[in-house]
Each structure stands twice: as structure tokens, then as C-alpha cells.
Structure 1
Amino acid sequence: MTDYIDEILTEETIDGFTWGYLAANYDNPRPIPSFHMEMWELCCSDASKVAIAAPREHAKAQSVDSRILTPNGWTTIGNLSVGDQIIGDGGAAKTVTRLHPISDMDLYRVTTADGKSTLCNLDHLWLCEIPSNVKRLQLKTLKEILENWKTDRQDKRTDKCFTEYRYRIPVIDPVQFEEKNFEVDPYTLGLWLGDGHAASGRITTADPEVLDNVAYSFAKQSGNYLYKIEGLYQDLQDLGVLDNKHVPETYLFGSVEQRLALLRGLMDSDGTISKIHGQVSFCNTNKSLVNSVVSLIRSLGGIAAVSEAEAKLYGKSCGLYWRVTVKMGTCPFFLPRKVRYWSPHKRLYSYIVGIDYEKTAPGRCLTVNGRLYVTDDYLLTHNSTAITHAFILAAVCLGVKDFVLLVSGTETQASEFLMSIKAELEHNRRLRKDFHIKSFLKETETNIIVLRQDGTKFRIQAKGSEQKVRGIKWENKRPDLIVCDDLEEDEQVMNPERREKFRRWFMNALVPCGSDTCSIRVVGTILHLDSMLNRLMSNKAWKNLFYRAHDDDFENLLWPEKFSEERLQEIQLGFIEDGNPEGYSQEYLNQPVDIKRAFFKKDYFYDFERDKDGEWIKPNLEYFAAADFAISEKEKADFTVIIVGGVDPKGVLHIVDVNRFKTEDGGLICDELIDTQKHYNPSLFTFETAQIDKAIGSFLDKEMRKQRTFLNIEKVTPTQSKTMRGRSIQAMHRSGAIRYDRKSSWFDPFEAELMMVADSGPRGRHDDQFDAFAYLGLTIDQHYEAHDQFDAFAYLGLTIDHHFIAQSDEDLEEEEYDIAFEEHHDLGRDHITGY
């Protein structure tokens, strides 16, 4: 059983807190993944020190996916063509007149007061208003807004300082989709979805006047409130909603009148309005209906915020329900008793409260006749993190912690995290009310002090890596919670001196700066074998969690709802095409390789020599083959690998084939070996002694006699060290004495696995290709050494195509280091981790 920091703060508490108070600002929030619950559980435990290694973007609670709205629904910029229609300002269709080339551009995150955000460049146009200046809508580029979007002010009555945000943006106008022909008229469908019987065409209502808006005849049934709608059953069946209550997607793209009628049917049945304040809301236990109501409201130019709660009857739980708080300029009701208390929200705006540079990435600009267009699901998208956002907010709001130190790689990044927390404390009305938030006693970009109604306070301070933290105090007490998010950066971890400097700061300044009861929580991605986070993973004083986006071959996806196999493969391909295959492993698999001491240098994966048409200029070759066996089809099992290489008269090795497969059938392995022998006729076929006996035993002898094809088998007994086993092939690779068929389908996964080999050994879960490659190198080395034709050419350099390729001083120095390192494990470094 887990012991917690406080009985109040548990993973279930944070889960409920997130859905109840934060998810209302998310756009189409996804279910919280199980590994977020695991992270929260460990963070809430009484462990004083916790470190979590998570893949890039996997600690985020919501993704940002830019989309473009068209008259037929949503699409992406990549799918647009000149002449296409998209929804523009005024809610009407606009024509795409130009698609600009895709290019790298600086992207800025623009955040509004209600926690929504999007990415755009400095030339992006915003329709906005400046209440303190000219109270009219203006078109402004983000660059213009950036010049004066906020200013520090002082309240003359209280002398308190505050930040005034100057620009506010309106919600979109109702989107003008074309009128559709529907099986069931929208109002009737909405009414039935709210108050209808799921398996029939009957409706239960205490307001019979709503039936006047139904486009069917109806008849009173037994009881006071039951009505049968004639002919509705068959239409609902044809629509596919019987026993499956939901809004068919086409209804979300009907005309304004059709969408409003559908919304009114839903609101007349399951909507409510306060007689005192006129606050409008929709409640339902069907999450699909809730999402559809949100989409309808937003497409009609309204604001919708969603919260979750537990339904109870006589004190007993009846499950979850969702509440949508509604603000609109058009009445969402037909029912007179509800219309009576409704008043329109005349002006719906959101202030811009954040503009921050985020990244340089590929983007595309487009031009339409009207200049403005609708993106990101009618609204901008909120983006928060599971630990830095939700965990901190829950800890301070519940009174478990009152002095939080929030640390990130730079002060700017830390302040961005802090500002997203501040936005919730300042603008989330329900959170402010339920947790008695009164005011800010101090509010800067790096420091906030919050006063509660009862006079108690809490403070959150933001710091960047290696900033001064020693002796930090507030009201004579030190921080009782330190949260670190992405402390390390690529440039810093690649420098040994900077790594050591950072380690001293972390261990000697940051960790001790907390109080005696301080909880330290570190989350990030492992950027280097010798990074601080990677060290914490094996430090017994720290509790830790380690996550990968997936296992090898994209098995066991960590978060399939957000990162599907297809999406991850696209991300991986992007790294490969960018010439950085190891980057994907680092960012998404938490398997970094020390590039300086990588076992195989990426720059030395030379392609075959080809003619002007790209065809291989094939020399005379003497072939050799090697295999690494695995008899299993289990998901986590290794592969059987057969690798073939040919040596030309100059001594250059050409890797012509890598055959990788899983099987439990020893006979199939024998067939593949014999097929390889028939096709290439290798001089030697190398296997590990124990493997061949265990894997295929007498099968191979029988099959060779049966097919009258015989392999010249060379059995090897491997050394204990995989890296020592691979020294021959490594030397050949580094000297430029190996060529690879880079156009072959086997090359990319082969290169990716080899790039995961460090001097301490292979870092991927599978090392079968490396093992087979190493056996091939040993065989060729020994064969030519025996024939006195291969006089250690890999270590001396050789002439290839009349170009002398010799090892650099760095390579020679590195080899001397590697050999010494392999032979002496008592030099103070762990022979597995390398530090």
C-alpha cells in the first residue's frame, strides 16, 4: 500500500482535480492515460526524492493539432489545394487563393486568458480589440501585438502592482455550413437524445409544449409524462442511434438553423438555467453527447467549458456525469419556462495573456480572399503538463504544500510553466471559488504569492538551471516542494565539463535548498548516458519511473490514444530524413547514445558505388555470411538474423543482404540458410557454437543432405563482451572499408540498431543484427589473416577508389581509450553505464 505525502493528495485526487477543474479549458480532452496515474501515485508518495524519465511530449495532458475548418468539416493544411473552400471570418466560406511553400519558420505560442493556445508565426493576422485604447476590432499581426501586448500597472487604491493585458480576441461568428437533408429533423433528434427512450421512439417529458416543435405526430401513453412519436422509431433505426445515443457527425455540420435546432432540443431536455444568475448549463452521463454539445456551441459562436463530477442519489454513487457551462449570444432554448430567465452574452472575448517563442519548425502559410480563417476546432488549444501543471496546482490548492520551487532548463521556460499555473489561479472561476483564492500578493513572471480567504498563503517561484537557489527562503522557511521539468538541454549535456558543473549544482545546491520535509520531483527526457536524469535512474536514494514511447518494432505503445504507431513512425522517419536517427531513440525511447563515443560512426555508413542512374557498380566479390539465431515468435523475443557481405579485390566489404525474422520453426531457419547458400555461395557461414546446437541441431545436417546443398560452417565461441566481439567490424567501418546498400529496405532498421550501440554495449532491446554483423567481421578478419591477404587493413587505413582513408588522431585516441576501458573495469566507471 502506498504511503502518501498527505492523505488528501493521492493519484485519485489529482485525477478528479484535473477533470473537475482543469479539463474545462481543454479542447476535446482525452482520457487520462494509466501511466499518468502511475506518475501521480509516485509523486504523491512519501518518497522524498522521485525521478521520472518520460518520452518527449508524453507528460503533456493535451496535444496541439492544427486543423482547418472547411464547409464539409475539418481537414489539415497539408490536404488543401488552391481553389479549396475553407471557413473564414464571419463564418462564411472563403477560397484558398495561394498555398505558400512549406518552410521552416519561428513559431510562437499565443495563449488566452481562458487557458487556450495555438502556434503561429509573427506574420499571422489576429482580429482583436484594445479596450484601453481604441474600442474597435482591428487586424494586427502577431509582431505588432508583441510590441505592447501587456504592461505593468499599479492600483492607485491599494498600491498593488498587476499586469494589464491589452488585446482581446472575439469568438468566431456562427459557421455557415450548407443546409442538409436529415433523416430526423434536428430538434426532434435533440429532444429524443435528451429525454427519449434509447430503444424506442418514445419521449418522457413534463413539458408537453416541447412536442409542438417536433416534426412528427405524437400520442399520449400511459402515465403522466410518456409520449409516443409516430414514425420516429424507424427513422432512428435508419439513422443508427437506437440503443446507441449519439449525434451523427453530419448533424454537426448542418446549417446554423439546423445546428441551433439540434442544440435547443438537447437543451430543452437536459439543459438548465439558473433563475437567479441566468447561468446556462447542460448535464449528461453520455460523454459523446457532451462532446457534441460543446462542438455545437462553439460552431455557433459560443463558449463552452466542460467539468466532470460524480452523480449521487440518496448518498449513493450513480457514476460520472459531465456539465457544460454555456455562454452564447443566441438563446439555446425553445422551452418558454427556460427562455424566461435567459439573457444574451452580448460580447464574448478572451484576452491574450501569453506570447512565447516555442520552436522553429516546418510550417505553411496560406492566403484566402478574406484573410482570416478558422483553425483548431473553433477554439485555440490549451496545453498543460501532468506534473508541472496538474500536480503543483493540486498540491497548493489542497493546502498540502505552500512553498513550491519550479525549476526548468531556463528561467524563461520555468516562467512559462508558472504563467500557465497563474492563469488557472486568476481566471478559473470554479477553482478560485472552491479553493477560496482571494488575490495575488505578488505576481511577476518568476514569482507569485497567493492569498486565500482565510488569510493563509502559498508561493510558487520559478528558476532556471544553475541559477542561485542556495539559502532561498520565504517567511523564514525553505521550499517544501521542488518540481523540476526538463532541467537538462542538449548543448549542456554534450559537454563533459558542463555536465559535471550541472551535477554539482543539482546535488550540492538544488537538492539541499529544500526544507527537511521537502519533496523533490524530477521529470524529463534522458539526453545522454551521463546525464543527471540517467544517473538518478540508478541512484538508490531516488524512487524512479522509466517510460519508453514503445518497445522495439512499435510494440506496446505507451500512449496509443495520442501517439499511434503511424504517428510515431512518421516522427521517426522525420529524424532519419534529418540525418539524426539516434535523435528519435533519445527523445521517444529514452535511449541516448554518446555520439562522440558511438560504436559506429554515422558518417561512415557509405553507400555502394553507383552509376549515373543510381545502379550499383558491382565488383567481383567473395561472399561470407553469418547468422544469429532466436527460436521464438513471442513479441519481446529477439530475431533470427542472416547477414551476407562480399569482399572485393581491394578488400572493401559490401553488405548486400540482412534477413531478419521471427520464427519457432527450426526447419524454416534451415530453409533460409540453404537459400542464402544457393544464392550467394558464401565461402564461410559463421554461427555461434552454442546457438546452432540449441536452435537447429540436426535439422540443418538433414536438410543439407536432402537438398544437396552444403554450408561451409565456421563455429565461433563468443567473448563475454559484445563490444570486444565487434571490434573487427567496428575498425573496418571506421576506416571506410565497408559499403552498405542504403537503398535496400533492410538498411534503415539496420543502421538504427547499430547507432544504438555504445562502447558499453548495445542499448536497444534487440541486438541480433549487431551480433550477426560482429560474427561476420570476425570471420572475414580471421579468413584473410590466415591467407595473409587482409593484413589488419582496418587499423592501418587503405586506398579505396584511389582516395586514402586513414583513421584520424581522434579515432586512434578513442580506440586506445576503448581498449583500456574494456580491459580495466576498476577505473571508477561502471562497465555497463559508462560512468
Structure 2
Amino acid sequence: MQCQHIMTRQISRSDAFRTIPQRKIQEALLKTLRDCDTCGQNEATLNNACNNCILINTALSRFADSNIPIGYWHLKMEDFKGNKVLLDKYNELTENLNKTYYEGTCICFAGPHGTGKQLSLETELPTPTGFIKLENLKEGDRLFDEQGNVCNVVELHPINLSPESYEIEFDDGTTIKACAEHRWLTWDRDARAEKKAKNEPIIRTTKEILDTLRVGGSQQIANHSIPCTQPLNYPPQNLPIDPYVLGIWLGDGTLIDGTIECADDDILDEIKKAGYSVNLINSSLRNKSKSNKYRVGDLILSKQKRRIGLLKYQLKELEVLNNKHIPNRYLYSSFKQRLALLQGLMDSDGSCRENGLLEFCSVKLDLADQVNQLIHSFGIKSNIRKSASFLNGVRHKDRYRICFTTRIPVFRLKRKLCRLRLEKQQLCRTTHRYIINIKPIDPQPMRCITVDSSSHLFLVTRSFIPTHNTMTTSNILKKASTRGYQCLHVTLGDIVSNAVSNTAYDKFTARRELMMVDFLVIDEFDSRHMTEGAGADLFGRQMEDIFRRRSENKLPLFMCTNSPNVIESFTGPIRQSIDSLMGFATIVPVLGKDFRKGGM
């Protein structure tokens, strides 16, 4: 009936997908197209086609464009390797998707999920206030995504001992310990090639990356890379010392007081703009040096020039006198404040070569590590190199050089800023971290987390490397979507939110999608995400109606829950409805060892 309705009315391309909600209808249209006696048309071409076949082609084209979720367009369609129970069931469901579809398979995966995609408990995660180890993370904690924006930890999955553990090493020296199934959004050599700019990064597991780690025959070039993050959006801080002035002092200041050595009037002008007075102490004519020594004077806070003391006393309050380092409030300040700090450091102890290579140099390893972290927070790849230093043939302390390239104006000095450049051929090398080695390590206690970022990406380590977090059932949707099935992945919380807050039309549309979509996955199917009060009974009956309609139409349904006994997790008026709909679902217990009982 619906096929005939489509064929006998004028339908626009934009409306075609809404009129073809199921694959069964699509197949019926294809059959009509192939059996057309008027023009003998097929779906490959529109040459000399009759109006009826052109109409069907338009509808089918719209269906093909729309039924594959955009989040799965660039995923590598490979069988995942995870928990054996899930793997066996996954293989059973995907080896013959048509059978799974036409039998209307209904399965509830019950038990701890997040058994793959795990990271070592020692992994450091950046937060808006500093760093936290994965083992100390709590639900509700805030992290960062690859766009530099704050995201929330919505779920911590159980700790598991990963039998296949690996250490991933990047070209800047950063290492991460992860399981074989952990997801990474990586570019390979083909995707990075200029002539193939339309290629996109692909989500790959650690094991998949290991299998294709290097390419290029005898040259053995690193194949996989991960794009650097965008600059992190830390909140603004109330800073007692202007960040540019602090950067200058950290680079060229005297350790025990508020004096600096300087040979550039531009730097002195920048310090004065920040409200400080600058007084000459020792001229270069007297000390036979190219630079003069200045005392940075009182900070002017008002037109009345109210004085609060020399820079020395502000440095003492920050506890940096005799202990040069970057205070945390400066490291975790806003983009503008951090940039001013980096400009001060680079104007004093930084340099830029004619080819655009930037370098910061310090004899203090702790300070160099902090500057390296500061540079990383802008999404810039850099590394530290240790080398010996000599002056007039005399051996001095080892120095630590941080080398990087960027288009961000990390200088204020014009003579240095004018050399800043990033050639096109350098762009990929300097904005991507390359995976240079993956080696197996002893089994490690690991865990997976779920964040609410739209990309499912979050940052790890002090290098702020983006890593991926996906859900197990997405693998089933990957297979189904590429076969032309219409797929929908929602959480129980999404359904509840729609039923409570949206308009009547939106509620109707949402219910229709839940009833008619080819493959439906409902994640977080747990009483914690269920509505309470008077609306619970009504919502329970609506859910039961949706499930029964799908059962009658033999449409597949997959549910995921953290509760080994899904029915027992619900209480009150909805308990009876859940018990009823579970009557036609196969419950697959997903077992996993939980190391939290051991005190970890």
C-alpha cells in the first residue's frame, strides 16, 4: 500500500526519506523498478527512463543518502575484538544481517559494559583545574574534548585486567598504555597526502594500528597520526602579576629579586604598558655586556599611582623567588593570558630561525617541562631535547631546548615575530603526532569512561592527545548502516527527555522513529535514567507499546544495561511493563571481572 502511494503522487527529494521508513519498502520499490515494462529501467541509470522510474530513483537516492548515520561514514568496517560473549554474539548477528533483520531479533546485553576501549589507570587526564589520574576520576568530573571545550564524565565503567595491553609511543616522546580494542581517530599516509585531501581520519583500534604501523617498503615511514587538539579553553584567572611580565622575569630575571636583563626597548615598552615602572640599574657600558640591568618597579593600579610594592614582593607572594617555575593559576588560565605568558617567555629566552623553527631554551628541567606543557595547551606539538652548553669554551649546565613550529604569534618582539612562518609542506608534520611504536606490555588494570562530547573524544596525558570512546553496540550499527539499513542509537535518558519536554508533534515523530527504524539500539537501559513520579506509569505503557509494535513488525531491537538483572533494576509502576517487554527479548549476560572489589 505504501509503495503504491509513493508511486502515484508527486514526491520531492527532501520528502522521499520520510516516506520510505523501512528497508522492506525500499526493496519493494527496487523490485518495481527492475520489473518496469515501460522502459526496462534499472537503478544504475536514468537514461530514457519513464516518469514512474525517475520518481522511484529519486526516492531511492534520498534513502541511500540519509539512512547511513553521519557518525559512521568514515569508520573502518571491521569486526571488533572485545569481550568473548559480545564477540560471539556480534559475529552471530552480523554474519547474516538479513536474517537478524527479518527475524526481528530482540536482545538485551546485560552486565558491565565498556569492556573494550580501555586506558591504563595511570593515565593523566587534563581538567579545567589541573590533571587527574584515571584511577581517581569520578562521574561528573570535567575533562576536555578535541575542540578544547569542557565535557563531562557521564559514566565510569568497571576496572578490568586487560589481557592484551600495549604501550603506544608518539614521535614527541609521549607514551600511552591502552588495550587492544581502544579506539583512536587516526589519519594514515594516504589520507594525509595532498592529492587525497578529501580523505578523512578513521577510527581504528590499537591492534589495527599495530598491524599497519609502518609503510613505505624499506624506508618504513610512520603510517598513523593523530591531529593535535585545538587550544584549550581554560577559564580566565585573577593573576597578581601580568603574565607577559612574569614570562620575561622567568626568562631573563634575576633569581633572587625583581630585576631583569634586557637589550630590547620593545620589551621595556611592553612592561610599561602593563603598568610597571622600569629603572636602569647597570648600563651595558659598565658591565661590557649587550644588555642592561633594570629594576621593574611599582605596579601602578590607578591614576593616583597607588603603589603596592616592587615586583620582588609580588614574586615572593607567588613563591617563585629562588624557585623559578610557572604557578598553576597561570598554566590553567585563559587563552589570552597563557599566550601573554608564552610571549614573555619567548621574547626573553626564545628564538626563531629563518625557516620558521621556534626554540625555547632553559637550564632548568622543571621549567622546561612546564613551558612544554604550556605550548601543548595551544594544540602545538613540541619536544624537549637535552644538550651540553658551553660559554667561551667552558662547560656549563646542561640545557633543555624545546623545538616547535606554529602560526600562533608567540612573540611580541618584531624582529622575532617577522620570522614566524609555517610552510604548507610542514603543516601536517607539525599539527599531527605520529605513532612510531606499539609494544605489548604485561596485563594492566584498565577502565573505559563515557563522556558527553558530541565526538566522543576526550584528551589524555600532558600532551593533550585526543582519544576515542565508543559504545559496543555501535559495531552492529556500523555493519547494518553500510548494508542500507536505517539505524538509530539512543539512550533511555534521550527518550525520557523527549517525552517530558518536547511538543506533541516532536513526541509523535520520535515515537514513530522508534517504532519504524530498521535497527534500534537503546543504551543505558537502566532505572537510573527513568522518569519518576506520576509520569512513570504512562511512560512505561508508551515504552511497552513501542516494543510490542517492533515485535509485531519483526524489527530488531538491542538494549544495553549495566544491571546484570535488568528487570530487578526497575521498581514501581514501570516494573510490570518492563517485565512484559522483556518476555520476548533474549538477555545476554556480559560478564567481566571487577577489580574494584580488590580495593583498586
What's the TM-score once normalised by structure 1's chain length?
0.35
Larger Rg: 1
Task: Name the TM-score, length of structure 2 as normaliser.
Answer: 0.49
